Structure 1
Amino acid sequence: MTQKELKRTKPVHTQKYLPGLDGFRAIAVIAIIIFHLNPQWLPGGFLGVDTFFVISGFLITSLLISEYDKTGKINLPAFWLRRVKRLIPAVLFMLAVVLTYTIFFEPDIILALKNDAIAAIFYVSNWWYIAQDVDYFNQFSIAPLKHLWSLAIEEQFYLFFPFILYMIFKLRKRQYTFIIFFIVSLISLALMIFLSSTTSSTARVYFGTDTRLQTLLLGAMLALIWPPFRLKQKVAMRLRTLIDLVGVLSFALLVVFILNVSEHDTWIYHGGFYLISFVTLFTIASVVHPSGFFAKFMGNPLFVAIGKRSYSLYLWHYPVIVLLHRHFVAGQLPYYVYIIDVVLMFVFAEISYRFIENPIRKNGFRAFSFKPNQVSRFMRLALILLLAVPSLLLLSGQADNLGKNHNTQKQTSFTNKKTAKPKTPPADENAKHVDSKHLAPLLIGDSVMVDIGNVFQKSVPNATIDGKVGRQLSEANALLTSQYRDFAKPNKDVVMQLGTNGAFTEEQVNQIIGDLGDAQIYFVNVRVPRDYEQNVNDSLKKAADKHENVHLIDWHKASSGHPEYFAYDGVHLEYAGQKALSNLIIDELKKQHSKN
């Protein structure tokens, strides 16, 4: 390969459209949508957001460099105005629709949504969620605007990055730009590694602008060495083949990551995001080269059509999914719900793209008119004003009372310590009949235990119940040894309902069994529509098969085909589910006692 083959043309004065890049955007947004529809379908679909970050860093830097090469300067006000016209109308329209819908149909989430919407308007959603210690992957909360964290990071980047790049160029330090960006990206990477190693919360690591800057800067670095508007249309066959091969292989590797990476993989915070984003660079380099066959494939009409609407699709897909799915049981959704999801998100995205985004980007305020004879412009204005009224009422707090009337404070714990020492159930004269009022088990669990606490206590008044929202099985060891040592004796019953919030190791299960000695131990398995469900249930079954004093209460099987048992999230229980699980536990306790 000669220097002549690799040589780029001189700067041109027209910015070419990059269809392959739009095609790549389509892949990214589809991955994100599939992940949010059901994380088990595509565990690493959330990496599509990082693809957007890399593309954004690459494209914005390319545009700024192209402008500077043509004019010798960067018109920052013009750049920011273009970003405002491109991004803000669409997000405000989406917010207005969601807020209006919420007032009329979902008043119970008004209070939480108001704060999220205010943060979204000022593009600080990511820092707001950090302050609230929000878990991006938590499916048990209703937050239809949570996806706007990534747009907040991009807007913050757009606000400061062009000025910094311009100052580097004006100070005649352009030759150091790449190394500056590289060093800052490594600092961002180091900060992510440090924070992920020193805190148990992922919010600060996942949402932080500073920790996510690494991927944006990787895209910017690619633009410095591979400016898309200066690449040659015709290159030697050998070079074109190499570019295509690099693109195909890197894209295939990205697909492997998306199919296999999980939200639970800690390595992604220890350099994984950087590595995956680095691989993304090679795909971008290939899809923007005008000579490549891979670029032409990615730039096919279908991908381009989706890619052009990727921003609209990203805006609309998440509120559609969240607000629709909350009326069904997660993990037991009828197939038609997913069809409705896809139809609605594409319909709203198309309306936004054609009726809001494009007209305002091209015409600014001239996209609106008070004259009825200018039908489309008049209707656009009427629609915006119609949505603005309820939206402003919600944002200003005028709808707070409506939200308070529908808001119920969910119980976060249930503790019923009847005695310092557990009672021993009296021997029943009829060995085949066990009165539940004579049972005195210890029950330890998470939010599901909180759900059944009152119902179970009515049937088993001598039970000692300790449930807490968010509790992990790993926390049970300390609890048993510090507060419930008296239950680690023969003829005592201990029911462990844990696993809703994540998987655990065999060693942790064995430690619990060891701590409880010869007590009769009952593990309740889980029904949770998450990828760790099978691992949790397999681990508990293995423990029950291995130890004579360990019994499995198969809630997963008993609850199958009973959506009426569950709240929308498919885990927490309605009254019918509370009764069913309580009775299932009681029946197993009675069964074991009747054997003795």
Structure 2
Amino acid sequence: MRGPGSGGDATDADVSVGTRRARDRQISQVPYLPGLDGLRAVAVVAVMIYHANSDWLLGGYIGVEVFFVISGYLITLLLIAEHERTGAIDLKSFWIRRFRRLLPALFLMMLLLSVWVSLFERDALGKLRGDVIAGASYFSNWYQIFIGAGYSAGNDFAPLRHLWSLAVEEQFYVVWPIIMLAFVRFGARRIAGVARWLFLGAIVVTVVVALLDYTGAQQTPELTPDAYWMLGDRPISKPDALYLSTLSRSGGLMLGAAFAMVWRPTAVMRGPLRNKAKMFDVGAGVGFGILLVLAWVMSFDPSQGVHGFLFKGGLFLTGLATLAIIAAITHRGAKTGHLLSNPVLLWIGTRSYGLYLYHWPIYQIIRNIAANKLQFHEFVLAMVATAIITEASYRFVETPIRKGKLGELWRRRGELGRSGGAGGQQRPVLIGGAIALVLSLFAVGSMATAELKQNSVQTQLDANAELACNLATGENCDTEPDEAAESEPDPDPDPAEDIDGELPVEETPVDDPAEGEVPVESETTTVTTVPAGPTRFAVGDSVMLGALIPLQTLGFQVDALESRAFVNGLDLVETLAREGRLPDQMVIHLGTNGRISESQMERMVAAVAEVPEVVLVTNDVDRDYTAGNNELMYSTAAANDNISVLDWQGLVKACEGDCLENDGFHLKPDGQQYYADVIAFQLGIE
């Protein structure tokens, strides 16, 4: 018998081993599944609609979770297949492939954006610097959590906020292959047991997130401390951390990975499930139905506490629905994969990475700040621009680099140059390259040296917060401190002189004492009447805080806080009522930051029952609860003689000049003065 490698005939054992390996290699193959590109298309379209205007698709953000499940499935499937084909996992090659797929378009987008911001949004360069560094290192999600710049922070020009999800995926790509090195050594049969543990891990993540979630309306750390974790002196938003962190969003990745360990497309078609195509199509239909309902109704707004189901099983249900669709897509006999493989969805799906990458910066350039919602015509314009840029990036940057053709193109250019065949073509290329280089250097230099600036709204609110009155403690509640200091009584007053408006009282002689009483010497008692001080209180949120100075000029003690909800202002007013410290006139502007319940309004009415004049100011913000809040104010005023309504929602439209910030409701100087003027007119203040 000849030894191995001698070139002789193979033994029966050799044939058996070789056949088994050949079979394993076939089972381990990962065929191209166009239906998955179609599913990616559906997911990215949902996200882009949601990012444009959340009113159009309240839960469209679940498309990101669909991406996580797909990534977990495909990456795990590829790693298992590689190990079964070669007996190893080449980490270096895997990471190089990932970097070649992801980094070129990312760096190109950030470079183009940096040039734009350097030319047209220079005040945002300081903040962009941190976002670019975090984006390039795939650390965006943790960076946003740390600085408090999640999706709930809406007044910034934030063109890279969407990179958090790419950071989660890239961190998964770095860590997961290393973990898989241990798992694949268990063998194909035992790895199915690992899948059960991963599924259990996804359940544990869901339960922990539900327990950690803060379900109320999130405001500032001072107003809702339970909505934050403290990292030293830095408050960390719980909703933002749970939404953005890799750990809390790992459930979808684990579900996809677990499914890959038990569901390989080629192996499925060799087993009894190959004849169950209709069953999988029905499952996919149910999965799409679940995703549609969730995308339609599961809104996310931490400032209003609207995220309960999302963090209490919503993400897990999204993952299960996605797995049902993937099961049908990977079954060759099912129709789901064919339906998702139409040309339109394939074009979108194959370019989903670029569409996701470019759409958010383009949205921001159009609307300027994150909180603004696009109008339909703006959305159409943004989609056209996104599609054009994405296609150019896909054809001329991503695909050549991914396929290793960039070096080939560069060599061909050099050969043509040496042969003299490209002289006419090289000049425009060289000129364009020189312009691009100059702009790039200008952008990088500008960003590196830029001053870190807050947005105009935050700057104004921070400055006014230092001056605002705290009615509960009395801090900063001298409306005009300079005049108050001047009104202090002279230690040696002239009784014949009126000092600062204080009227002297004439001397009153004491009557002769009655018999038996001790005589009392006659004395002169001078009574000074101290001004009662301001009798006007203004209680509100950030809209009122912006108009702090002109309101103080009118004699108001202004207690206004950023992000204050109605219930927080109600607590303050009730405290003042219990202590007997309510004024003669009171302006209440609350309702920007959440829905007002009838019971809360009834408590407010009871608290201000002894105040002669109370003005409720309506709100002019683009929120689904605004109309209800304003209607409640009108009905309350109609039922109470001491309460009136100031229709700010209607009056603000008549403001002349540059009145509103880019978010459409915070006040610029013209708007601040106008706001104070209409309140003065309402109360008859001269």
The TM-score normalised by the length of structure 2 is 0.75
User: SS at the partner of 1:495?
Assistant: strand
Query: C-alpha distance in 2, partners of 1:514/1:542?
Result: 15
Q: Please say which of residues 409-418 and 241-250 is displaced more in the overlay.
A: 409-418
Separation (CA, whole Å) in 2 of partners of 1:251 and 1:107: 44
Change (3 A) 1:248 1:405: closer
Give the stretch that moved more between structures: 285-294 or 334-343. 334-343
1:9-52 Cα shifts (integer Å, max 9, x gaps): 96446432111111111111111111111111111111111111
Question: In the superposition, relative to structure 1, how do residues 518 and 60 fare at CA in structure 2: closer, same or farther (>3 Å)?
Answer: same
SS state at 2:461 partner: coil
**2:197 is aligned with 1:180:** yes
What residue is the counterpart of 2:682 in the other structure? 588
Which segment is superposed worse, 128-137 or 83-92?
A: 128-137
Identify the match of residue 457 of structure 1 among 552, 560, 567. 552
**Which residue does the alignment assign to 1:571?**
665
Identical-residue share of aligned pairs (%): 30
**Cα deviation digits, residues 202-239 of structure 1 (max 9, x gap):** 12211111111111111111212222354429998972
- Residue pairs, 1:289-438, within 5 angstroms: 289-326=331-368, 330=372, 335-363=376-404, 366=407, 369=410, 371=414, 373=422, 385-386=437-438, 388-394=440-446, 397-400=448-451, 409-412=459-462, 413=465, 414-416=467-469, 417-418=477-478
1:325 Cα deviation from its structure 2 partner: 0.3
TM-score (norm 1): 0.85
Greater helix content: 1
CA contact (8 A) 2:73 2:257 kept: yes
Alignment correspondent of 1:108: 123
One-letter amino acid of the counterpart of residue 441, structure 2: V
Once the two structures are superposed, residues 412-453 of structure 1 have per-residue CA deviations (whole angstroms, 9 ceiling, x without a partner) of: 225152369xx9xxxxxxxxxxxxxx9943111111112222
Deviation digits for residues 340-368 of structure 1 (CA, Å, limit 9, x no counterpart)? 22222222212221221111111165167
Contact 2:155 2:455 in 1 (8 A): no
The 3 A distance-change label for structure 1 pair 440 and 44 is: same
- Measure, in 2, the Cα distance between the counterparts of 1:504 and 1:406: 28
Match of 1:536 among 625, 629, 643: 629
Contact 1:126 1:207 in 2 (8 A): yes
1:49–1:463 distance in 2 versus 1, CA, 3 Å = same
CA shift, 1:189, in A, is 2.1
2:211 is aligned with 1:194: yes
Q: Please, which of 122, 147, 151 is the counterpart of residue 162 of structure 2? A: 147
Aligned to 2:14: none
Distance 1:233 1:28, change over 3 A: farther
Aligned-partner Cα distance in 2 for 1:86–1:535: 49
The aligned counterpart of 2:41 is 26
The structure with the largest alpha-carbon Rg is 2
| Partner amino acid, structure 2, of 1:185 | A
Q: Using the alignment, how far apart are the partners of 2:646 and 2:566 within structure 1?
A: 16
Tell whether 2:521 aligns with 1:445. no
Given the alignment of the two structures, is residue 556 of structure 1 paired with residue 649 of structure 2, yes or no? yes
- The answer to whether the 8 A contact 1:476-1:512 is kept is no
CA distance, structure 2, for counterparts of residue 487 and residue 586 of structure 1: 25
Aligned to 1:497: 589
Residues 382 and 62 from structure 1, CA distance in 2 versus in 1: closer, same or farther, beyond 3 angstroms?
Answer: farther
Q: Deviations over 1:433-479 (max 9, x none)?
A: xxxxx994311111111222223334x2x111122222222221333
3-state SS, counterpart of residue 410 of structure 1: helix
Question: Is the contact between residue 43 and residue 67 of structure 2 (CA under 8 Å) also seen in structure 1?
Answer: yes
Distance 1:32 1:379, change over 3 A: farther
Rounded Cα–Cα distance in structure 1 between residues aligned with 2:240 and 2:440: 32
Q: 1:573 to 1:21 in 2, by over 3 A?
A: same
The answer to whether the 8 Å contact 1:250/1:280 transfers is yes
Could you tell me how far 1:575 is from its partner in structure 2?
A: 3.1
The one-letter code of the counterpart of 1:349 is: T
Distance 1:404 1:569, change over 3 A: closer
The one-letter amino acid of 1:443's match is: A
Higher mean C-alpha deviation, range 170-179 or range 26-35: 170-179
Query: Structure 1 residues 471, 286: CA separation in 2 closer, same or farther (over 3 Å shift)?
Result: same
Q: What is the match of residue 258 of structure 1?
A: 295
Retained in 2: the 8 A contact 1:233–1:291? no
Q: Check the 8 A contact 1:521/1:550 in 2, yes or no.
A: yes
Contact 2:268–2:274 (CA under 8 A) maintained in structure 1: no
Q: 2:609 aligns with which of 514, 517, 531?
A: 517
Q: What code does the residue aligned with 1:534 have?
A: A
Using the alignment, how far apart are the partners of 1:452 and 1:56 within structure 2?
A: 49
Quick check: 2:329–2:337 contact (8 Å CA) kept in 1? yes
- CA deviation string 1:140-198 (max 9, x = no partner): 22211111011111100010011101211225552431122123223322331232146
What whole-Å deviation, never above 9, does each CA across 1:552-572 have from its counterpart, x for those lacking one?
A: 322223335879532111121
| Equivalent residues of 1:114, 1:394 under 8 A apart | no
Shift of 1:383: 7.7
Separation in 1 of the partners of 2:677 and 2:319? 51
Q: 1:162 to 1:588 in 2, by over 3 A?
A: same
Q: Distance in 2 between matches of 1:59 and 1:242?
A: 23
Count of residues paired in the alignment: 563
**Which residue does 1:428 correspond to in 2?**
none
Any gaps of 5 or more consecutive residues in structure 1?
Answer: 1-8, 424-437
Residue type at the aligned position of 2:247: D
What amino acid sits opposite 1:314 in the alignment? Y
Distance 1:525 1:253, change over 3 A: same
Deviations 1:72-91 (A, max 9, x none): 22111111111000001111
SS at match of 1:551: strand
Alpha-carbon shift at residue 105 of structure 1 (Å): 0.6
For the residue of structure 2 that corresponds to 1:457, the secondary structure is helix
Q: Distance in 2 between matches of 1:539 and 1:64?
A: 59
Q: 1:235 to 1:366 in 2, by over 3 A?
A: farther
CA distance in 1, matches of 2:629, 2:74: 44
The one of 568, 571, 574 aligned to 1:478:
571
Aligned to 1:242: 279
Cα RMSD for the two superposed structures: 3.4
Deviations along 1:105-157, one digit per CA (max 9) or x if unpaired, are: 10111111111111111111111111112332332222111110111111000
Query: Using a 3 Å threshold, how does the CA distance of structure 1 residues 149 and 557 change in structure 2: closer, same or farther?
Result: same
In the TM superposition, 1:209-248 aligns within 5 A as 209-232=246-269, 239-248=276-285
Give the drift of 1:290.
2.2
Q: Deviations over 1:363-401 (max 9, x none)?
A: 165167384648699799768745542343245x22348
Distance 2:267 2:443 in 1: 46
User: How many Å separate the matches in 1 of 2:213 and 2:128?
Assistant: 28
Separation (CA, whole Å) in 2 of partners of 1:238 and 1:543: 66
1:497 to 1:336, Cα distance in 2 relative to 1, 3 A: same
Residue type matched to 1:588 in 2?
Q
**Equivalents in 1 of 2:672, 2:115: separation in Å?**
34
Pairwise CA distance, 1:276 = 2.1
For structure 2, list consecutive stretches of 5 or more residues without a partner in the other structure: 1-22, 215-225, 229-236, 301-305, 470-476, 485-532
